[in-house]
Chain A
Amino acid sequence: MLALQILIDGFAISSLYALGATGFTLIFGVSGVLNLSHGAIMVVAAVIAWWVAGTFGAGAYLGALAGVAAALACAFFTYSVIVRPIQNSGAIPKEEKEIFVLTGTLLWGIMLQEAVAYLFTDNPKTVRPLVDGVVMILGVRTPWNEILTAALSWGAIGLLYLLVNRTRTGKSLLAASMNPRGLTLLGFEMSNIYVLVWAIYGILAGIAGVLLGAFLGVSSANAGTLTASAFSIVVLGGLGSVSGSLIAAYVVGYLETMTAYLVSPSIRTVPVLLLLVLVVYLRPQGLLGRR
């Protein structure tokens, strides 16, 4: 009974982690950027969805759409105002671009977080779920919303998979993550690919944010934790490896859920942190990373 409960609850939260981390790792794979405003963008999506659905009475679907659109806008802004100028800058030495991108996106994340706190207070908000009610799965009472969260997460990841493997644009994206130089030689414009990957990222982060808002509720104060958890999952899975991130998301999700059930909810994140240190020391390329 307990095992089944852990299985079901862990699955939903892990799917959400997976969705959140997929976009994050995709960007790293293609452009080598670690976007530290990730958590803040998810928060923006959730809060905008809450605001549009609640204040304008626009309903859950329109709200969710507005949330995803807001995340997309933020992602584009992150790329065009912060990441691209730094990457193209002649004044920053090459080996220091990484720290500048990190600091820049970090600052941008703080700005987003503070703006949300200022406009909407830092009280947690919950997005109205698309479906209400519960269903019994083998004796475990499960909210429909939890099932929907998992299903939508996997739906989005599935679409991404189709896009990457079945379309020409998608294939160029995959190629870019493996060998950017080769792709340029073949005549592809890298900047187009970057725009595409940031657009995909924005949509994925937006969906993840809205779903998180509906499933658990989100406050502007969570932005840092969300970034840190995406970062950990991605490193655990191997930087740039999407399938590695998916597996890592489940490892993290289940480890947390098991700790909360079997040990104590107050040390939920500790085993994950220890595992992370261990993996980084013993196998720094992560579970499925390439060196």
Chain B
Amino acid sequence: MSLNPRDAVIVDAVRTPMGRSKNGMFRHVRAEKLSAELIGALMVRNPGWNVAETEDVIWGCVNQTKEQGLNIARNAAMLAGLPCTVAAQTINRLCGSSMQALHNAAMGIQTGLGDVFVIGGVEHMGHVAMDHGIDLNPEGSKHYAKASNMMGLTAELLGQMNGISRQMQDEFGVRSHQKAWDAAQSGRWDNEIVAIEGHNSDGFKVKCAIDEVIRPDTSLEGLQALRPVFDPRNGTITAGTSSALSDGAAAMLVMSAERAQALGLTIRAKVHSMAVAGCEAAVMGRGPVPATRKALQRAGLSLDDIDVFELNEAFAAQALAVMKELKILDRMEDRVNLNGGAIALGHPLGCSGARITGTLLNVMEHKDATFGLATMCIGLGQGIATVIERV
């Protein structure tokens, strides 16, 4: 494969370990700090990067208020010690925010509006709750169901329409924790996790390097015993088959191919194609389907060309429904979310896009794969997808 000078390439990808939102290890660590730590880590890991020539810091974050308010990207950049000449912006495409940050950087590079970008995202869901300060326009009720704002209910509907049983969901939930824990045990997270100072349950100051949210003891029997949370009567989705609430950040160093080459940096992958798409809010979970199709079409690839997938596990029912519709369910075992997903690691909204794309990159390197696709569903009916190619 050949690189064009204006191809957007990923030089590095890092993330924090995922802390439990309820009294977890980052309960005294703020969202800007988690973000700044990663920018700092990128500097340390990539001494060839001349930070002063960075065009922009693009950070995904959903609930931009309190500590996440007032352009958290700029606050994080300043905390990290980036020169004041580097710009910074925060963007919001809900769950797809930091994947969108990657897309924006890639678009900037492809159109000649900069050569070096830091992208990433963060969400401290323990400090800024998902529903904090939310005031939706009541008039929206004329255009979509209010229940479509309740992600769990949309996943119930999607699961129902696709015949995703409780059993399938519980098995998928166990798989997520098992794979994530196995990755932790065998060191497959090591290249992406940056240890961050936090506090243990007694309040002692410690360096956190392990995803606190993973539950290694998750069993099928345990999950089967849980009660449905969103629709207690007829529902199938439990806390165990929903993405966990966690605090975390993820980041990437993105450059034009020509600049990376000129600096002598290792190019880990290039952004091959990107897409966003909309769908009905009531089944927002199927957003990855149209987004994936668009991204593949733009890449001139078919699903068969994709070696590994990272599919954000908002809910097991949702992830399984997407795989069913894309007809990749039978290839799930060796191609999809090989290190587990958000059910085990949690889904800090603004962080997840950069997190799963970074994880995809590491899995691809581990499997020596060529093409990988990361995709995620977005509340109120959207999907976002990125195809990356190792070079």
Chain A complexes with chain B = no
Hey, which bits of chain A sit against chain B, CB under 8 A?
A: none
Binding site for A on B (CB under 8 A): none
